Structure 1
Amino acid sequence: MEISAFLLPKDQVSYITSSITMLEALEQLEHHYYSAIPIINEEGKYVGTLSEGDLLWKFKNTAGLNFENMREVTVSEIQQHVHNESVEIHAQMEDMLTLAADQNFVPVVDDKGIFLGIIRRKDIIEYYTRNITD
Protein backbone atom coordinates (compact mmCIF):
# COMPACT_ATOMS: atom_id res chain seq x y z
CA MET A 1 0.00 0.00 0.00
CA GLU A 2 1.22 3.49 -0.82
CA ILE A 3 1.27 6.20 1.80
CA SER A 4 -0.77 8.42 -0.51
CA ALA A 5 -3.80 6.31 0.46
CA PHE A 6 -3.65 7.93 3.91
CA LEU A 7 -2.96 11.49 2.71
CA LEU A 8 -5.24 14.26 3.90
CA PRO A 9 -4.54 16.80 1.13
CA LYS A 10 -3.30 20.32 1.80
CA ASP A 11 -6.63 21.88 0.80
CA GLN A 12 -8.29 19.95 3.67
CA VAL A 13 -5.57 20.69 6.24
CA SER A 14 -5.17 23.72 8.44
CA TYR A 15 -1.63 25.07 8.38
CA ILE A 16 0.10 28.38 8.96
CA THR A 17 2.86 30.26 7.23
CA SER A 18 6.09 31.24 8.94
CA SER A 19 5.36 34.93 8.28
CA ILE A 20 2.15 35.22 10.32
CA THR A 21 2.19 36.65 13.82
CA MET A 22 2.26 34.77 17.07
CA LEU A 23 -1.27 36.00 17.81
CA GLU A 24 -2.57 34.74 14.46
CA ALA A 25 -0.96 31.34 15.10
CA LEU A 26 -2.53 31.16 18.55
CA GLU A 27 -5.91 32.01 17.06
CA GLN A 28 -5.54 29.25 14.44
CA LEU A 29 -4.71 26.67 17.11
CA GLU A 30 -7.65 27.83 19.20
CA HIS A 31 -10.09 27.92 16.27
CA HIS A 32 -9.32 24.34 15.21
CA TYR A 33 -8.79 22.96 18.73
CA TYR A 34 -5.30 21.80 17.70
CA SER A 35 -2.31 21.37 19.95
CA ALA A 36 0.06 21.62 16.96
CA ILE A 37 -0.12 22.85 13.35
CA PRO A 38 2.17 22.52 10.30
CA ILE A 39 4.18 25.57 9.20
CA ILE A 40 5.00 26.28 5.55
CA ASN A 41 7.11 29.05 4.09
CA GLU A 42 6.23 31.47 1.29
CA GLU A 43 7.40 28.92 -1.31
CA GLY A 44 4.99 26.32 0.06
CA LYS A 45 7.68 24.16 1.66
CA TYR A 46 7.13 22.45 4.98
CA VAL A 47 9.42 24.08 7.57
CA GLY A 48 8.17 22.66 10.86
CA THR A 49 5.33 22.30 13.29
CA LEU A 50 4.25 24.88 15.84
CA SER A 51 2.86 23.56 19.13
CA GLU A 52 1.03 25.14 22.04
CA GLY A 53 4.14 24.43 24.08
CA ASP A 54 6.27 26.47 21.69
CA LEU A 55 4.00 29.46 22.27
CA LEU A 56 4.14 28.99 26.03
CA TRP A 57 7.96 28.75 26.00
CA LYS A 58 8.12 31.94 23.92
CA PHE A 59 5.93 33.73 26.48
CA LYS A 60 7.99 32.44 29.38
CA ASN A 61 11.36 33.31 27.86
CA THR A 62 10.59 36.72 26.31
CA ALA A 63 10.61 39.61 28.76
CA GLY A 64 7.72 42.01 28.22
CA LEU A 65 5.81 39.76 25.82
CA ASN A 66 2.06 39.91 26.37
CA PHE A 67 -1.17 39.57 24.41
CA GLU A 68 -0.93 43.16 23.23
CA ASN A 69 2.46 42.85 21.53
CA MET A 70 2.12 39.29 20.21
CA ARG A 71 1.36 40.92 16.86
CA GLU A 72 5.01 41.99 16.69
CA VAL A 73 6.40 38.44 16.84
CA THR A 74 6.31 36.23 13.74
CA VAL A 75 6.13 32.47 13.77
CA SER A 76 9.63 32.33 12.25
CA GLU A 77 10.93 33.88 15.52
CA ILE A 78 9.48 31.11 17.68
CA GLN A 79 11.72 28.17 18.52
CA GLN A 80 10.12 24.81 17.85
CA HIS A 81 10.78 22.33 20.65
CA VAL A 82 9.37 19.25 18.93
CA HIS A 83 10.56 18.37 15.46
CA ASN A 84 7.82 16.66 13.43
CA GLU A 85 9.68 15.07 10.57
CA SER A 86 8.09 14.98 7.15
CA VAL A 87 8.00 12.11 4.72
CA GLU A 88 8.13 12.22 0.93
CA ILE A 89 4.99 11.11 -0.88
CA HIS A 90 6.87 8.17 -2.46
CA ALA A 91 8.41 6.93 0.80
CA GLN A 92 7.96 3.39 2.05
CA MET A 93 5.12 2.58 4.45
CA GLU A 94 7.68 1.60 7.10
CA ASP A 95 9.19 5.11 7.01
CA MET A 96 5.80 6.72 7.52
CA LEU A 97 4.76 4.28 10.25
CA THR A 98 8.00 4.87 12.16
CA LEU A 99 7.29 8.62 12.21
CA ALA A 100 3.59 8.15 13.03
CA ALA A 101 4.52 6.18 16.13
CA ASP A 102 5.99 9.36 17.65
CA GLN A 103 3.92 12.11 15.96
CA ASN A 104 0.16 12.80 15.94
CA PHE A 105 0.50 13.60 12.26
CA VAL A 106 3.16 13.16 9.61
CA PRO A 107 3.62 16.04 7.16
CA VAL A 108 3.90 14.83 3.56
CA VAL A 109 6.03 16.64 0.99
CA ASP A 110 7.00 16.15 -2.64
CA ASP A 111 10.59 15.62 -3.79
CA LYS A 112 11.20 19.40 -3.60
CA GLY A 113 9.88 19.75 -0.03
CA ILE A 114 6.55 21.29 -1.06
CA PHE A 115 3.85 20.57 1.53
CA LEU A 116 1.20 18.21 0.13
CA GLY A 117 -0.79 17.47 3.28
CA ILE A 118 -0.63 15.25 6.33
CA ILE A 119 -1.16 11.68 7.41
CA ARG A 120 -2.93 11.50 10.75
CA ARG A 121 -1.95 8.77 13.20
CA LYS A 122 -5.66 8.39 13.97
CA ASP A 123 -6.41 7.41 10.35
CA ILE A 124 -3.63 4.82 10.32
CA ILE A 125 -4.89 3.23 13.54
CA GLU A 126 -8.47 3.19 12.26
CA TYR A 127 -7.38 1.55 9.00
CA TYR A 128 -5.41 -1.19 10.70
CA THR A 129 -8.16 -1.74 13.29
CA ARG A 130 -10.71 -2.28 10.50
CA ASN A 131 -8.41 -4.62 8.60
CA ILE A 132 -7.04 -6.84 11.33
CA THR A 133 -7.80 -10.48 10.69
CA ASP A 134 -7.14 -13.28 13.11
Structure 2
Amino acid sequence: MNAAFLITPKSEVKYVYDHWTMRQAMEKMEHYRYSAIPILNKKGKYIGTLTEGDLLWELKNHQDLDFKDTEDIPLSSVERYRDIQPISIDVEIEDILENSLSHNFVPIVDDLGVFIGIIRRREILSYLMDLRKKEHSETI
Protein backbone atom coordinates (compact mmCIF):
# COMPACT_ATOMS: atom_id res chain seq x y z
CA MET A 1 0.00 0.00 0.00
CA ASN A 2 1.22 3.45 -0.86
CA ALA A 3 2.10 5.59 2.16
CA ALA A 4 0.13 8.52 0.73
CA PHE A 5 -3.03 6.93 2.16
CA LEU A 6 -1.73 7.49 5.70
CA ILE A 7 -0.43 11.04 5.33
CA THR A 8 -1.51 13.88 7.58
CA PRO A 9 -1.38 16.82 5.16
CA LYS A 10 0.72 19.92 5.79
CA SER A 11 -2.45 21.95 6.42
CA GLU A 12 -3.08 19.83 9.54
CA VAL A 13 0.53 19.70 10.77
CA LYS A 14 2.18 22.21 13.08
CA TYR A 15 5.69 23.23 12.04
CA VAL A 16 8.23 26.00 12.52
CA TYR A 17 10.37 27.97 10.09
CA ASP A 18 14.15 28.03 10.15
CA HIS A 19 14.18 31.84 10.40
CA TRP A 20 12.12 31.75 13.59
CA THR A 21 13.76 32.16 16.96
CA MET A 22 14.41 29.49 19.52
CA ARG A 23 11.79 31.10 21.76
CA GLN A 24 9.09 31.01 19.06
CA ALA A 25 9.78 27.31 18.52
CA MET A 26 9.71 26.53 22.24
CA GLU A 27 6.42 28.35 22.68
CA LYS A 28 4.80 26.55 19.75
CA MET A 29 6.06 23.17 20.95
CA GLU A 30 4.82 23.89 24.47
CA HIS A 31 1.41 25.05 23.23
CA TYR A 32 0.83 21.88 21.21
CA ARG A 33 2.69 19.62 23.66
CA TYR A 34 5.08 18.41 20.94
CA SER A 35 8.42 16.82 21.70
CA ALA A 36 9.49 17.18 18.04
CA ILE A 37 8.38 19.45 15.20
CA PRO A 38 9.29 19.78 11.50
CA ILE A 39 11.38 22.77 10.40
CA LEU A 40 10.69 24.34 7.00
CA ASN A 41 12.36 27.15 5.09
CA LYS A 42 10.46 30.09 3.58
CA LYS A 43 9.92 28.13 0.35
CA GLY A 44 8.24 25.29 2.24
CA LYS A 45 11.11 22.83 1.89
CA TYR A 46 11.74 20.43 4.74
CA ILE A 47 14.94 21.39 6.59
CA GLY A 48 14.88 18.97 9.51
CA THR A 49 13.18 18.20 12.77
CA LEU A 50 13.65 20.13 15.99
CA THR A 51 13.36 18.16 19.24
CA GLU A 52 13.12 19.09 22.88
CA GLY A 53 16.54 17.50 23.27
CA ASP A 54 18.04 19.87 20.70
CA LEU A 55 16.70 22.82 22.68
CA LEU A 56 17.96 21.43 25.98
CA TRP A 57 21.43 20.83 24.56
CA GLU A 58 21.48 24.39 23.24
CA LEU A 59 20.63 25.68 26.72
CA LYS A 60 23.22 23.41 28.34
CA ASN A 61 25.94 24.51 25.94
CA HIS A 62 25.19 28.19 26.65
CA GLN A 63 24.82 28.23 30.41
CA ASP A 64 24.63 32.02 30.58
CA LEU A 65 21.53 31.89 28.36
CA ASP A 66 18.20 32.71 29.96
CA PHE A 67 14.73 32.38 28.45
CA LYS A 68 14.60 36.04 27.33
CA ASP A 69 17.84 35.56 25.37
CA THR A 70 16.24 32.80 23.28
CA GLU A 71 14.43 35.59 21.38
CA ASP A 72 17.78 36.38 19.74
CA ILE A 73 18.77 32.85 18.70
CA PRO A 74 17.58 31.78 15.24
CA LEU A 75 16.63 28.14 14.84
CA SER A 76 19.14 27.88 12.04
CA SER A 77 21.90 28.14 14.66
CA VAL A 78 20.48 25.43 16.95
CA GLU A 79 22.36 22.19 16.39
CA ARG A 80 20.13 19.21 15.71
CA TYR A 81 21.40 15.91 17.00
CA ARG A 82 19.02 13.42 15.33
CA ASP A 83 17.50 14.67 12.13
CA ILE A 84 14.68 12.64 10.68
CA GLN A 85 15.24 12.04 6.99
CA PRO A 86 12.19 12.77 4.84
CA ILE A 87 10.53 10.15 2.68
CA SER A 88 9.13 10.61 -0.82
CA ILE A 89 5.34 10.61 -1.19
CA ASP A 90 5.39 7.60 -3.53
CA VAL A 91 7.01 5.21 -1.03
CA GLU A 92 5.32 2.02 0.13
CA ILE A 93 4.35 1.71 3.79
CA GLU A 94 6.72 -1.21 4.29
CA ASP A 95 9.60 1.09 3.36
CA ILE A 96 8.95 3.52 6.22
CA LEU A 97 8.52 1.02 9.04
CA GLU A 98 12.14 1.24 10.18
CA ASN A 99 12.04 5.05 10.32
CA SER A 100 8.87 4.97 12.38
CA LEU A 101 10.46 2.78 15.05
CA SER A 102 12.70 5.55 16.34
CA HIS A 103 10.56 8.63 15.60
CA ASN A 104 6.99 9.71 16.32
CA PHE A 105 6.49 10.73 12.72
CA VAL A 106 8.06 10.47 9.28
CA PRO A 107 8.20 13.69 7.22
CA ILE A 108 6.91 13.37 3.66
CA VAL A 109 8.19 15.52 0.79
CA ASP A 110 7.48 15.78 -2.93
CA ASP A 111 10.09 15.33 -5.67
CA LEU A 112 11.41 18.88 -5.09
CA GLY A 113 11.86 18.44 -1.34
CA VAL A 114 8.78 20.49 -0.50
CA PHE A 115 7.15 19.40 2.75
CA ILE A 116 3.67 17.98 2.15
CA GLY A 117 2.91 16.35 5.48
CA ILE A 118 3.79 13.61 7.92
CA ILE A 119 2.91 10.03 8.62
CA ARG A 120 2.53 9.43 12.33
CA ARG A 121 3.67 6.24 13.97
CA ARG A 122 0.11 5.86 15.28
CA GLU A 123 -1.29 5.63 11.72
CA ILE A 124 1.33 3.07 10.74
CA LEU A 125 0.52 0.92 13.77
CA SER A 126 -3.23 1.22 13.11
CA TYR A 127 -2.70 0.16 9.50
CA LEU A 128 -0.65 -2.86 10.59
CA MET A 129 -3.25 -3.84 13.21
CA ASP A 130 -6.06 -3.61 10.64
CA LEU A 131 -4.01 -5.67 8.21
CA ARG A 132 -3.42 -8.34 10.85
CA LYS A 133 -7.12 -8.45 11.77
CA LYS A 134 -8.04 -8.80 8.12
CA GLU A 135 -5.55 -11.62 7.60
CA HIS A 136 -6.73 -13.32 10.76
CA SER A 137 -10.41 -13.16 9.73
CA GLU A 138 -9.56 -14.62 6.31
CA THR A 139 -7.95 -17.68 7.90
CA ILE A 140 -11.03 -18.51 9.97
Query: TM-score, normalization: structure 1?
Result: 0.95
Give the partner amino acid of 1:69. D
Q: What residue is the counterpart of 2:101 in the other structure?
A: 101
Give the partner amino acid of 1:96. I
Higher alpha-carbon Rg: 2
Q: What residue is the counterpart of 2:110 in the other structure?
A: 110
Q: Does 1:15 align with 2:15?
A: yes
Give the partner amino acid of 1:9. P
Give the superposition deviation at 1:128: 1.6
* Alignment check: 8 A CA contact 1:89 1:110 kept: yes
Give the superposition deviation at 1:58: 0.3
Q: Deviations over 1:38-72 (max 9, x none)?
A: 00011111010000010000001014211111100
Show structure 2 runs of 5+ residues with no match.
none
Give the superposition deviation at 1:102: 2.0
Q: Does 1:4 align with 2:4?
A: yes
Give the partner amino acid of 1:87. I
Give runs of ≥4 in structure 1 deviating > 4 Å.
none
Q: What residue is the counterpart of 1:123 in the other structure?
A: 123
Q: What residue is the counterpart of 1:27 in the other structure?
A: 27
Partner of 1:4, secondary structure, is helix
Give the superposition deviation at 1:96: 1.6
| Separation (CA, whole Å) in 1 of partners of 2:63 and 2:29 | 23
* Alignment check: 8 A CA contact 1:87 1:95 kept: no
Moved more, 77-86 or 96-105: 96-105
